[in-house]
Structures are given as structure tokens and as C-alpha cells.
Structure 1
């Protein structure tokens, strides 16, 4: 049966329900969001003479919840327009409307009796064959379906989103024994392709996969705090980005999630998993019970392990809880010799090995933590999952780990670690010992660009599902066709090559530019086209401003001029190559990365791509062809129905205000992506495969190298005056500093084609020359150098 989802009903508009509704609307679906009707009036409603039967009163709860979600930061939707797809209502009047929905998802309070009451009502109105799922995080899925019809049970399972649903990529799918396997398969595929999720099949066990392992990890760390005498600040310094975990590390994560939620999950595992060999790890420490008793529950109550206060001078200060005295005190920045030595190591796997061999307190912590984690995950197979990769997928997508637990075990060496675990009193599950005895030494391996995992029942390696749909560049390492110290170019198969770079923050310097140029040349000579992407946390934060600053401060203007020319020439090389060049950005894609996207034949960004030309913030203008390209696109968009300066002004303001799209969808509105041309990929893991597919489609359709433009319409003096007037207006109103005015006028000069007496047709090279001259002149400005220095030192430009 072919199943199409057009309309979704979300029952329950709390924090999760309202944001799940927003995510469904964000991907383009019609959404019906329902909640209970209030039984009492507010003072304002009473003053207006309303009754509980009034529609505004009946929908107050759901409307207020949705309004709060929409106002939340970060936004739960890709564009504000998406909210229009959500229709609100209440259970009393509108539950009957679920009959027109293709999927009903329940997100009410975590009580089995209430959920069962809701499902009794749902069954009266849902049409046969409609998907019905629950977003519960703790109640056994099969219990909720008791007493329901055969059709209900057949189409019912758990779909556990993580909060916030737009940003956390995990979607756990939990079938019951009665769930039709076709329904399970559909949800796994639909969540991946249309909701952009890493969908993970889970068994109906307490806390499913991610929370079971994640909360174990947190509780194990709580135990090590007491055992090793570590502080909160020390733990969060040890368990954050240094080992590939989020900045929120352990205790900050607990504050965000809610300490009561953490305790509830831990108690749930402790009470409902009698055969869990690490059951005692889930025992709640006395100090944690005390925090719950004091209502120190984290961000939701204003204090937890951390507490925000104001210092004597009125400045914000964050205090940390001393677990021995249960009093808040000033934070201390901890230092461990092994961690300090590992910090300069960019490669996570190399860094992980380094910290785990440290001979100080940090090294001891890492060994105990990883030994316990490895023991625990090995014993959870097959209890919570039959496949090891599902555990890793869940932890990476749900808890933001850069590499999974089994993959970390591979990094540290399975055989050697198992021996050390035994010496330290930690036992690996028998299947791990059997695997090693059979001569299999790793959980994963890569063959011909495809990642394989060790399948326990067959005692052999099996390809990860997805195959061609999930291309990972580094898996093609043995098919490297060129490299330097910052880049690699791989043969991705089908006569398509792929370029990735792995500089800090994905910065674009000389070696990356060399990589782009070399890869295009290779593609032109031997292949059908080129994909440019990478696997970093961010695609790229832009050009290497450190290099620009160094050349500018030394007044090496000839060198600087050559560097800018190289950047411009590389972008134009991408635009006018003899083969298709497709860029697949994700996350931060700023400055030079945005300019590269502007010059590609096609862009296949992940939905979560934050892209923009931000150079004005550091006192510069886009100098790698970005200013030229915006002037060119403005010229092409001008039409007779409106003043020509309107289009130019809008393009100018996008750069002048350093606007960054908060999603790939928003990048279309900013004119960075092209409607009907570029393609947003909802699942970030699919973007490289889709980019490769696009290269082949463009090539096979008869790709012809474009010809450089010599007909770009610029408005000259007439538009320049209007833009200058606008800039001065911003300055007078206090929105722009003196230096902002200097930079903005340089930008206006380039985008208008200079001080031409009349409208003219100019070449792209003419605009590139103006752009480069303006960029160079700004590099000689003291205040620009101050801004760049501020970014290099503290990450933010000074407003001077």
C-alpha cells in the first residue's frame, strides 16, 4: 500500500507537542494542533464577559502554547510562513477533525490512564489505516494499545522525538508486537527522508535506546564524582568538546533537560530493569535527591547545578553548586596536563586516544568512564537493540555525540581495551569475547566506500542500511586522488569526485583554494563533475581572517592583493568550470563559504544551514566575488514594475546588515539560494549523495560551460546617491557607527559600479576589480583591523 502524508494531527500542545507541530509544518505538512479546553476563566476573560463556551476561551491553552513556541529562540520552524499551516482547536470540539488526518501523534501528559482515555476518543474518529503514534519517553508502548481495535493496534507504535524536534535529529521508532512491519518500515523511511531525522528502530524497553545509554552515562559520571572527588566544573571540562560531546557536557546538559526529568528516567530504569547488571548505577545520590526537594531543577526553575546571578557591578555571573556544601560558589577553570596537551590535536579520534592514555587524574577518569560505558553498551545488546549501529546512531543524533560509543571503542582498540577493562573490574559482554576469539577486532570497517558493522547473529560484517543514500567522504579514503595538508579529493564512484577540507572551523585559506582549483582541474580532465562538502561540525566559518590580519598589519599589500585575486579567481573557476560543480553546505556557511555557494552550478544545503555574507561585521566587504554576484543578481532581477533601485537596495541591505539565514529555506528569501534551482536536503546525512546525484543529472543533461558575463547592468551615480542617503540616515538614527558608514559606502560604490554618470553594462571582471580595490582599502583602516583582532581574540567583532 502506498501511503501519503498530507495532514497530521498533534494531540497535546505542551513544549513538545507545539514544537512537533511546528516541525511538521516546517517541512510543508498541514497540521491540526489540539489540546484540552479550559474549565475556568482568566481575569481578563471574565472582564470581557466571556464564558467557557466561547471559542477564544476554548482554544486559549493551545493558542498560548503555540504562540510561546513560535516566539522561542531558536525558532522551531524553518520560515515564519510555515506557521500558517497549523490550525488549532480543542479536544471537545475538534477531535472529530482527526478523521481527515493521515497521521495522529499523541503528546499529552506522561500518564498511562490519560493516554488511554485519549486513545479511546481517538478511535471513535480516526479513519481505518491512519497512523497513530505516541511520543512517550517512558511509558511502555504496548500498554497504551491495550483494549484497542485490531486496526488501531496494527497502525500504532511509538515515535519518540527529542526536544527541540527541529534541531535534534533523533527519532526513535518503537513498534509493539501488534504493529504491522510495513508501518514500522514506513515511519523509519518517512522520518529519514521527509522529516530529516536519524530514525532508529528501538525495542519497547524502559527509556528505549538514547535515554537508556545517555542517562546511564550521566549517572555513571555522578558516581565517579563521588569516587574520585571531582567537581562540577572539572567534569564539564572533561566531558565536552574535548571528547566529541556538546559544549553543555554533563551537568549543563542536566540543567537544560531538567533534573527532575533526569531523576525520573534514572528511577524508571532502576525500578523496571531488574536484570540490568549496572542497576545500582541508577541509584539517586543523596545530593541529587536534595536538589529535587529544593526545586533546584535546572533552567526551568532558574537554578540547578548552575545559577545565574548579578555581580556587584550589575554584570551577569554564573555560579556553580558545590556538591559537598550544597552552596553556590564562583566557578573555577580547571586544568589537567593531559587535556591541555591534547587540545591542539584537531582530529577527534587521535585526541580521544591521547586523553585516555593520560597519566593524571583526567586520564584515570576517562579510562573509568569509557570502561564502564563499553561494558554497559555491550550488555544492552540484544536487550534494547539487535544491532550495534543503532546504539551509536541514537547517541549521535539524540545526545550530540560526534562519534558513537562502539565507534569510540574501535578508536581505543577493542582487544586491548577489553583486557584493561578486566584488570579494572569491568566486564565486556560474552559476545564481544566471542567476536575477538573469532579474529574479528573491530565493530566497524569500511570497504569500497561503504561502512560495515559487525552483525552478532551472523558473526560477520554487514553493510549499514542506506548505502548510496548516505555518502560519507572519509569512507573513500582509499580512493583518494589528490591531497594536501588541509584537503582531500576522493573518487566517489560513477566518475564523480568529492573535495573535503578539515581546517579549524572549516576556514578557507590558501591550501583550501588550491584544493578547489586542483579538484576542478582533475574533474575537467578525467571525471563528470565535482562535489564540494565536508563532515565537520560546520561547513565553513569563511575565509582565514587570521591570514588577512597578518598581511594587513604587516602592510604586505601586494601579498594581500594576490590573496584576494586568488580567492576571486577560484570562485570564478568554480562558476565557469568545464564540468558541474555542486556544493553541499551545512551548519555555519559564512563569508567565503557563502561566496563559493553563490558561484556553484547547484547548491544542495542541509535544511540546517546558516549561510550569509558577514564581512561587514569585521569592517570589510565580501571580497571573493560575493559583492559582484549580488550586484549581478540584482541587475537580473530588476524589472519595469518597480524602481530599479529597490532590488539593488534589498541586495545591498542583505550584505550591509550581515544577514545570516537561520535555515536553508530562509536563504532563498535572502537571495543566496535560487528558487527552482538549488535543492534543500532535510536529512543532513543525505546531502552529499544528493549532490553527487545532481552532478550526474547536470552532466547527463548536456552540461555546457557558461560564458562570463559582460552585460551586467549597474546604475552608477543615480543609485549611489540613494544608497548614500540611506546610509547617512542609519548613522543619524544611531544604527550605524562612523566606521560602519565608511564600510557601507565602499559596498555601495562597488554594487553601483562606481561613480558612473549613467546606467551602464559592465563585465563581471570590472565588478571584481572594484570589489578587490575596496577590500584592500578597508584592510588599511585601523578600525577594520581592530574588528578583525577582536574576532581572532574573543570570537566577536568590537563595535567601533
Structure 2
């Protein structure tokens, strides 16, 4: 049957339930959120009192940070109610998701009610993380069992991309296929098919990793600060590393999962690792559970001067003390290496205490994951997918093993007393050197069951640039241009934070020229953690501090010319951003033929923060769009003022959908791609569609209406008001006045039609003059040193 989802019911409005409801509403679905009638209001006839629990939970979710919604109007799609009065309303829903407390008896009571009111064929799933899915299906009807399985979201559901799908033996295979596809395509998730084993995949491996680290810490006499320094971004893991993650998740939750594995997996060869350390039991007794109780491994405090500080728990004395920055020679030597795989190899070859920790940690992890195949998954790539999407690892465990060399590491593991599963030895004996490799631009993965390599499904929908390295068309030190097939080129760069400097601008120009010569078009994207934090401010600072204004003028002209080249080339240029897309990266998006943005794209023109105005065509483009948006029903200055404020306040969209509200993205042209992994494939498809529809390069505009003095006076008055009220510093107002001058087209006596180049020249002159301002240079310097601009 063809299944569509129009309305979803979420049963349970706790932290997970309310946020799952927000995520479904965020993708445009009508959502029904239900919970209990609060105690004391059972006899009340007032909906506000009977629904107080669910309404309070939803209000708290909407106010929480990070926000669970893409835009604030999402709340309009959520209807609240209670189990007593509104369970009947699930009859209108296509999917019912249970997210109540982790008790089997309570879940079964809820499912009894669901069975009474659901229409046949309705999907029913549970978000449980600790109860076997098969146990919840018992005593239910055949239709219920057929349409029931586990759908385990990770918290927060909007941001963590993992969705584990756990069928029972009764679940119809078509239901599983539907959920795997729907979660990927519409919810933007990495959907991972799991077996109904304790903790499923991600928590089984993730909690093992944390418990293994705790064991190693005790064994090697390391402390909390040292472990978090060793297990964070330096090895491609989140900043929360190990113990900060424990505090965020909740130590009671961590202990519950660990005990659950130890009790329910008697054949787990490493079950002793899940034994709870004495100091952790003591923390549970003290109710030091992490963020939820105000203290765990870390505690916020106030110093002698009233300033905030974070204290770390000493696990020997059980007392808190100021954090101490750890010092490891091998870590300090590896930090400057940007490439994670190269860095990982260097760290694991270290001869100091950190190097020994990394060896032991990886040996333990590799041994464990080898023995989990086929227990928790038949396919090893699912384990890596789960850990990257659920725990934020940059690369998966099997991929890390590849990086360190499979055969070489197995020999070292055996010498150190660690065992690997028999299938790994068989793989090495067969001559297979790695778990993953690339064949015909597609990533393949070793399959232990067939003892061969198989293509990872979804390869066509999930284009990974590096898989096309053997089809490199052009490159320089920072960039590569690939042939992505079907006569489409793809450009990516690997600078720090995706910064855009001379090499990147050269690559954009060269890639467009190559595409114009014999291809259909160009996709600009990358597979890094962020798309781009903007222009290379270090280069700007260096030229400005040395007063090389001719060089600086040339650099700005090159940036502007490159953006205009993207806009007016004879082939379509499609940008596929994700994550941070700031400053110059936003300007590139503004000048593309189309943007295929990941839902989690944080885009904006932020140059005001460092005392500059957008100088790569961003200011010009906002003026042009404001001119096109002006209409007779409102004063012309309103549209321009809104555009001005977006730049003057350095506003950044908190999602791609908010990017449309800001006017960075164009309605009816640009699109949001829910699954970040699909955006490059969607961009490639767009290039082909635009080209095949008879693409004609647009002509540069000479009819951009600027308002001159009539708008300039209003903007300057607003700036002075902001300064007087204390919302802007003196230098903020200096920069904002320059911006206002450019956006009004200068000191013109009346509204005038001008060319794009006229606006670009004004923009460049203002940018250059601000580079000579002492306070601007102070701001840029503070960004280069500490990552944040000083407020001067």
C-alpha cells in the first residue's frame, strides 16, 4: 500500500516526547501531543487544568536552548490534550509514537488504549531505549503487531541525526522499509536498522566506550580533566568528550544502561567492563547526577571575584576543585594537524602516557565491536553510522580501525592480550586489507557473512566528495574539483573552518571556467563539520596592519569578481551549504543560481561583528533584493530597513527555514534538504535540471533602485537612537553609518536607478576605509586570538 503521513500522535510530553513532537511539527506535520491529566485535576472540567502537564512541557520545550524548532510558528501545528479525553483523537493519525516512562506495565496500559482507538494500518512505534520491543508487542492484535516496531530517537531529536529502527519478528517488512526511508528523507535522520538486543546499537557501543574509558582511567591513574582532554575533538569526538557527556545525559541514565547490558547480555565477553565503579555508585548515592541535579563530574561555581568557574570532581577525595588544563607531549604535537586521520595515527603512535591510553582505548573498542557482529547488526557499517549520528563521532569505529591499519593493529592487540572475533582473522587471511574501500566512486564495505565487499546502500542519494578523488579534474593546495558524473563538477576545499581566501577564490573561478568549457554546471559543497565561517580574516588583518591598501583593494575586488562570476556564468552554479555558512560563504550562497541547504544551516552576514561591512557583494545583493521587494502598499524604506537591520545586527539564521524568513534564501527557488547527507546529490540533480531546462546566463542589473537621502536620514536617526539607548557602541555606530550610506546608494538627492557595479564600488570603498579603523583591527585581532570579537 502507498502510505503517507499527514498527522502524528506523540504519547508522552516529557523531554523526549515534547521535542519529538516539535521535530515532526517542524517538518510540516499536524501533531497531536498527549499526556496524563495532572494529579489534583482529575475532576476538573477546564481544559487548561486537565492539559496543564502537557502544555507546560511544550512551553518549556519551545523556550529551551538549543531550540527544538526551526521557526517559532511551528507551535501552531501542535495540538495538545490528555490520555483520558483525547486518546480517541488518534483515530485521525497515521503514526502513533509512544514516549512514556520506561516501565513495561505502563507502556502496555497505553498500548491497550491505543488499540481501542487506532484505525487499522496505523503505524505504532515506541521510543524506548531499554525495554525489548518484542515484549511490548505481546498481547496485542495481529494488525497492531504487524505495524509495530521501535523508533529510537536521540536527544535532542532535532540535532542528533540518529534514528534506530528496531522491528520485531511480527513487523511487516514494508513497514520497516517505509520507516527507514521516511526517517531519512523527511525527518533528516541517519536511519539505522537494529536488532532487538539490549541498548540496540549506539547505546551498546557508546556506553561500552564510556565504561571502558572509566576502567582505563582507574588503571592508568588519570583524572577527569585529563580524560576529557584526551577523548574530545582531538580524536574527532564532541567537545563534551566523556565525562561532560555523562553529565548532560545523566549519570543515572548511564548507570541504568550499563546495568541493563550487564544483566541482559550474559554472553557478552566484556560484561565485566559494565561493572559500576565504586566512585560512580557513590555519586549516584549523593544524587550527583549531572546537569539535572546541578552537579556531577563538573559543578558550576562562583570565584572569589564573583566570576563563574567550573569545578571538577576529584574521584579519589570526592571533592570539587578548579579545573586544571592537562599537558601531554603527544597531544600538543598532534594539535596543529588538521586532518583527523593523520592526527589519529600520530596520537596512537605516541610513547607517553597519552599514547598508551589511546592504544589501550582503541584496542578495547576494536575488540568489542568485532564481537558485536552479527549479534547487534549483520552489517558493520551500521555500527559506524549509529556512532557518528548518535554520539557525534567524526568517523566510525571500524573506519578508525582502517586508519590505524587493520592487520597491524590486530597483531598489536593480540600482543597486548586483546582478542578479535574470528571473522576479522578470516578477513585478513583472505587478503582484504580494510573494512571500507572505494570502488567505481562508490563506497563498499566488507560483509562477514558473504566474505566479500558490498556497496553501501543509498550511495546515489548520498554523494561524498572524497569518493571521487580518482576523478579529480583540477586542484590546488586547499581545493579539489571533481567530476561527479553526468557532466557535473563538484568543488570542495579543506581550509580551517572552511575559510575563504585566495586559493578558494582561485578554485571557484577555475571550476566555473572548466564547467563552462565542457560540463553542465558546478556544485559547491564539502563534507567537513562546517561549510564555511567566511572570508579569511587573518589575511585581511595582515594586509590592513601593514597598510597594504592596494593589495587589500585587489583582494576585495577579487572576492567581488568571484561572486559575480558565480552569479553570471554561462552554466548553473548550485551551492549546498550546511552548518556555519557565515560572511563570505553567505555571499557565495546569495550569488548562486540555487541553494540546496541542509536544514541545519546557520547562515548570515556577520561582518559588522568585526567592524566591517559585507564586502564580497553581500551588501549589494541585499540592496538589490530590497529594491525588488519594494511595493506600493508600504513605505519603500521599510523593506530596506529590514535588510539593513539583518546586516547591522549580524543576524544569523538558526536554521535553513529561518534563512527564508531573513531573505537570505529565495522562496520558490532555493530549497531545504532535511537530510544533510543528501544535499550534494540534490544539488547535482538541480544543476542537471537547470541546465536541461535551457539555462541562459542572466544579465547584470542596471535597474537597482536606491533611495538616497530619503532613506539615509531615517537609517542614521535609527543608528543614533541605538547608540543613545546603549544598544550599540560608538564603533558599532561608525560601521553602521558606513553600511547605511552604501545601502542607500550614497548621498543622492532622490531615488535613482543604479548598476550592480556602482553598489559594489561603494561597498568596496566602505570596506577599505573600515580596515583603516583602529577599533576594527582590535576586533579582528580578538577573533583571531580567542574566536570572539571584542566589544569596543
TM-score, normalised with respect to structure 2: 1.00
Partner in structure 1 of residue 12 of structure 2: 12
Give me the whole-angstrom Cα distance separating, in 1, the residues matched to 2:477 and 2:313: 44
Deviation per CA, 1:263-286: give whole Å up to 9, x if none. Answer: 000000000000000000000000
CA shift digits 1:378-414 (9 cap, x unpaired): 0000000000000000000000000000000000000
**Counterpart check, 1:468 vs 2:460:** yes
Q: Displacement of 1:55 after TM fit?
A: 1.3
Shift of 1:352: 0.4
Match of 2:790 in 1: 798
Aligned to 2:728: 736
Which of these residues, 601, 619, 639, is aligned with residue 647 of structure 1?
639
Match of 1:320 among 305, 308, 312: 312
Within the candidate set 624, 637, 649, 2:616 is matched to 624
- Distance of 2:3 and 2:640 partners within structure 1: 46
2:3 corresponds in structure 1 to: 3
CA deviation after TM superposition for structure 1 residue 52, in Å = 2.7
Kindly indicate whether the alpha-carbon contact (under 8 Å) linking 1:51 and 1:57 is maintained by their aligned counterparts in 2: no
Q: How many angstroms apart in 2 are the aligned matches of 1:455 and 1:224?
A: 31
State the Cα RMSD in Å.
0.7
Q: Contact between 1:39 and 1:52, CA under 8 Å: does it hold in 2?
A: no
Give, in whole Å, the separation in 2 of the partners of 1:204 and 1:342: 40
Contact 1:654 1:670 (C-alpha < 8 Å) held by counterparts: yes
Partner of 1:33: 33
Q: How does 1:144-543 map onto structure 2 within 5 Å?
A: 144-543=136-535
Give 1:54 shift.
2.0
| Corresponding residue number in structure 2 for 1:749 | 741
Instruction: Decide whether the 8 Å contact of 1:266 with 1:283 is kept in 2.
Output: yes
Look up the SS of the partner of 1:605 in the other structure: strand
Q: Which residue of 2 aligns with 1:589?
A: 581
Question: Shift in Å at residue 348 of structure 1?
Answer: 0.4
SS at match of 2:613: coil
- Distance, in Å, in 2 between the alignment partners of 1:679 and 1:781 is 39
Partner of 1:101: 93
SS in 2 for 1:628: helix
Q: Structure 1 residue 373: deviation in Å?
A: 0.3
2:700 corresponds in structure 1 to 708
Give the superposition deviation at 1:456. 1.2
Q: 1:34-53 counterparts in 2 under 5 A? A: 34-40=34-40, 52-53=44-45
Paired position in structure 1 for 2:544:
552
Structure 1 residue aligned with 2:648, among 653, 656, 660?
656
Q: Secondary structure at the match of 1:234?
A: helix
SS of residue in 1 equivalent to 2:598:
coil
Structure 1 position 666 matched with structure 2 position 624? no
Q: Does 1:561 align with 2:553?
A: yes
Pairwise CA distance, 1:732:
1.0
| 1:447, distance to aligned residue in structure 2 (A) | 1.3
State the 1:330 CA deviation.
1.1
The Cα of 1:449 is off from its aligned counterpart by: 1.5
Partners in 2 of 1:484 and 1:327 — Cα distance? 53
Alpha-carbon deviations, 1:490-523, whole Å to 9, x = none? 0000000000001000000000001100000000
Distance 2:349 2:236 in 1: 16
Structure 2 distance, partners of 1:292, 1:449, is 50
Q: Is the 8 A contact 1:508 1:542 kept in 2?
A: yes
Distance 1:295 1:484 in 2: 56
Q: Cα deviation per residue 1:588-612 (whole Å; 9 max; x = unaligned)?
A: 0000000000000000000000000
Distance 1:605 1:54 in 2: 44
1:571 aligns with 2:577: no
How big is each residue's C-alpha offset from its partner over 1:217-264, in whole Å with a ceiling of 9 and x where there is no partner?
000000001100001111001000110000000000000000000000
Report Cα offsets for 1:93-127 as digits up to 9, x if no partner. Answer: 00000000000000000000000000011000000
- Give the match for residue 47 of structure 1: none
CA distance in 2, matches of 1:356, 1:207: 29
SS at match of 1:320: strand
Partner residue, 1:760: 752
Three-state SS of the structure 2 residue aligned to 1:469 is coil
Contact kept in structure 2, 1:159 and 1:174, CA below 8 Å: yes
Counterpart-to-counterpart distance in 1, 2:486 and 2:664: 29
Distance 2:45 2:754 in 1: 67
* SS of structure 2 residue aligned to 1:603: strand
Deviation (angstroms), 1:56: 1.2
Following the alignment from structure 2 to structure 1, what is the Cα–Cα distance between the partners of residues 661 and 459? 34
For 2:137 and 2:35, locate their aligned partners in 1 and report how far apart those are by CA, in whole Å. Answer: 21
Query: 1:530 Cα deviation (Å)?
Result: 0.2
Could you say which residue in structure 2 is the equivalent of 1:44?
none
* Structure 1 residue 677: Cα displacement: 0.4
Aligned counterparts of 1:92 and 1:758: Cα–Cα separation in 2:
66
Once the 2 structures are TM-superposed, how far is the Cα of residue 51 of structure 1 from its aligned partner?
A: 5.6
Higher alpha-carbon deviation: 326-335 or 128-137: 326-335
Summarize the alignment of residues 137-148 of structure 1 with structure 2, pairs less than 5 Å apart: 137-148=129-140
Structure 2 residues without counterparts, runs of 5 or longer: none
> Could you tell me how far apart the structure 2 residues matched to 1:591 and 1:148 are?
56
Q: CA deviation at 1:763?
A: 0.4
Structure 1 residue 53 displacement after superposition: 3.0
Question: Cα offset for 1:8?
Answer: 0.2
User: Per-residue deviation at 1:441?
Assistant: 1.0
1:22 Cα offset (Å)? 0.2
In 2, Cα distance between the equivalents of 1:232 and 1:704?
A: 60
Q: Secondary structure at the match of 1:680?
A: strand
CA distance in 1, matches of 2:411, 2:380: 21
Query: 3-state DSSP class of the match of 1:163?
Result: coil
Listed one character per residue, the Cα deviations across residues 719-755 of structure 1 (whole Å, up to 9, x for unaligned) are 1111111111111111111111110010011011000
Matches of 2:428 and 2:189, distance apart in 1: 33
Answer whether contact 1:488 1:501 (CA < 8 A) is retained. Answer: yes
3-state SS, counterpart of residue 468 of structure 1 = coil
